[in-house]
Amino acid sequence: MTAAIRANLPVFAVIAPLFVAFVLPTFARRTRLVEGLVIFVQAVGLWGTAYLARLVLAQGGLPIIYEVGGWSAPWGIELVVGNLGAFFLLVVAGVSLPVAIYASGNLAKEVEGARRRAWFYVLYLLLGGALAGMSITNDLFNVFVLVEVATLSCCGLVSASQEPSGAEAAFNYLILATLGSGMILGGIGFLYIVTGHLNMGFAARALATVWQDYPHVVWMAISFFMVGFGVKAAFFPLHIWLPDAHSVAPSPASAVLSGLAVKGYIICLMKVLFHVVGPELMQVFSLNRLLVLLGMVAILIGSILALGQDELKRRLAFSTVAQIGYIFLGMGLLNVKGMTGALFHIASHGIIKSALFLAAGAVITQTGKERVSELAGVGKKMPITMGVFTIASLGLVGIPLFSGFVGKWYMLLGSLGAGDYLAAAVIVAGSVLCAGYLFPVIRVAYFEPAPADDWQEPGVRQRLALILLAMGIFVLGTIPGPLLELALAAATDFLVFN
C-alpha cells in the first residue's frame, strides 16, 4: 500500500488537492470541516512534497518520472519530478499551508457567507493543484490546460470579495489572461507544427535540428510564449492587470496570487524556454538580452510605481512587478548563478510577498486602514503583525540573514559572471528602491504618533501563519540548505544538460 502511494506520489501531489476541491462544496455549510480539510490536504501535501524532494536529492538529481496512465513518453503524458519540480512543489506546498491557516482565521472577515468561503477554498485548492501540476508536467498541452485551470481559479479568487471593483478587476484579468492563454496555445501550436511533438524532451530534440529551416516560425512560437506567459506572470510591460487584481482580492488570495500563481507561469515559461528552446537557441534569438533588458526596466519602473502608491496592498502589488523583473533578469543572464538566483528568488519572494500581503491583510481587517499614511500606531498595537511585516521587508530589501539576500547575491554573482555590470547595478538599485517603498510603511507604523484607537492583534491562526512565514524567511536566509541545492541543481539542469 505504502509502496503504491509512494510510486504514485507525483500524481497525488496534483490530484489530491483537485479531488478535495471537488468534494468540498458538499460540506459547504460546515466551515470548520472545510477549513480542516483544506489545512489537512495542504499539510499532507507538504509532507509528500518534502518526501519527494528528499527522494530527488537522494537520487542526486535523477528525476522521478511518472507516466500517466502507463503510456510512455512520446504518446502519453509525463510527470517529471526533477530538481525543478521538487523545488517548486516544495515552494507551493510551503507557502500555501500557512496561507491556508491564515485564511481559516481571517477569511470570515473578508468574505461573507459560508458558501462563498467554501467556494473560495475550492478555487484555492484548484490553484494549488494546478500549480503543482505545472511544476512537474512535461507535456506542452498539459501545461496549457493547467495554466487555464490556474487562471480561472485566480480570476475566481480575485472576484471572491463582494466589491464591484473585485468583479471588474477579475474581468479585466480574465480577458487578458485568456488572451494570454490563447497565445500560449498558439505558441504550442507553432511548436507542434514545427516539431510534431508535445512532450518537451522530444520537442526540444526535434527543434534542435529543424529550427534552422523555420526560424520565423520558431520565433513566432517564442513570441507567443513570451507574451502569453508574460501577461500571466505580469512581466513588464504586461503587468497592467496585476495591481488592480492583487490589491482587490482577499488577502490570502493576494498572497497566493502574488506569491505563487505568478511564479507558476514563470516556471512554465522557464521550462519552455530552457527545456524546449534551449539556451543556445535563446542566444541565437538574443532572447536572453531581451529578458535582461526588460527585467531591468521592470525592476526600476515597478519599484518607482510602488513608491508612488499610498494604498498598502497596491504598493505591494507593484512591488511584485519589480520582483518579477528580478526573476526574469536572472533567467536572462543564462548562467547557473543567475538562474539559481532567479529560482531562489521565486521561493523567497513567494514566502516574503505572502507574508507581506497577509500582514497587510491583517492590518486592514483589524484597523480598516488601507493607506500607508493612515497606519500610524499600528506597530504599537499589533506588534507581531508589524514585526513580521518588518522582517519580510528586510527580506525583500535583501539584508543578509533574510532570504531575499541569497537570491540577490546569486543574481549579482550571475550578472557579474556574465559581465553585465549594469544589471548588477540595477539589482542593487532595486534593493534600495525596495527599501524606499517598504520602510515608510514601517516608519509610519512604528514611529509616528499614534491615534488612540483600540486595535488588536488578529487571531491566533493568523498570527501562527505569519510567524511561520517569518521563520521561513529567516530559515531560508540562513540555512537554505535543500532548497538552495535544488535550485542550484535545477539551474544546472536548465543550462548544462541540454
Grid cell at residue 95:
507557502
Q: Which is nearer to another protein, 64 or 484 (CB)?
A: 484
Shortest CB 210 distance to another protein, Å: 14
Three-state secondary-structure class, residue 364:
helix
Residues forming a β-bridge with 64: 81
Q: Which is nearer to another protein, 102 or 236 (CB)?
A: 236
Shortest CB 231 distance to another protein, Å: 5
* Residue located via cell numbers 499614534: 450
Q: Which is nearer to another protein, 36 or 400 (CB)?
A: 400
Q: Which is nearer to another protein, 7 or 175 (CB)?
A: 175
Shortest CB 178 distance to another protein, Å: 5
Give CA–CA dist 270/327, Å, rounded: 10
Query: In this structure, how many other beta carbons lie within 10 angstroms of the beta carbon of residue 361?
Result: 28
Alpha helices in 111-139 (DSSP H): 114-136
Q: Which is nearer to another protein, 127 or 227 (CB)?
A: 227
Shortest CB 186 distance to another protein, Å: 5
Three-state secondary-structure class, residue 432:
helix
Distance between start and end Cα atoms, the chain: 37
Grid cell at residue 259:
506569491
Q: Which is nearer to another protein, 102 or 173 (CB)?
A: 173
Q: Which is nearer to another protein, 156 or 472 (CB)?
A: 156
Grid cell at residue 229:
506567459
Shortest CB 49 distance to another protein, Å: 21
Shortest CB 89 distance to another protein, Å: 21
Give CA–CA dist 226/220, Å, rounded: 10
Q: Which is nearer to another protein, 100 or 445 (CB)?
A: 445
Grid cell at residue 334:
543564462
Shortest CB 479 distance to another protein, Å: 7
Which residues are CB-neighbours of 253 under 8 A, at least 6 positions away? 120, 124, 157, 158, 160
Shortest CB 216 distance to another protein, Å: 7
Give CA–CA dist 314/312, Å, rounded: 5
Residue type, 303: S
Shortest CB 105 distance to another protein, Å: 25
Q: Which is nearer to another protein, 167 or 208 (CB)?
A: 167
The two most distant CA atoms of the chain are separated, in Å, by 72
| Nearest alpha carbon to residue 253 among 358, 391, 356 | 358
Letter string b/e over residues 439-456, b meaning 16 or more CB atoms within 10 A of that residue's CB: ebbbebbbeeebeeeebe
Three-state secondary-structure class, residue 418:
coil
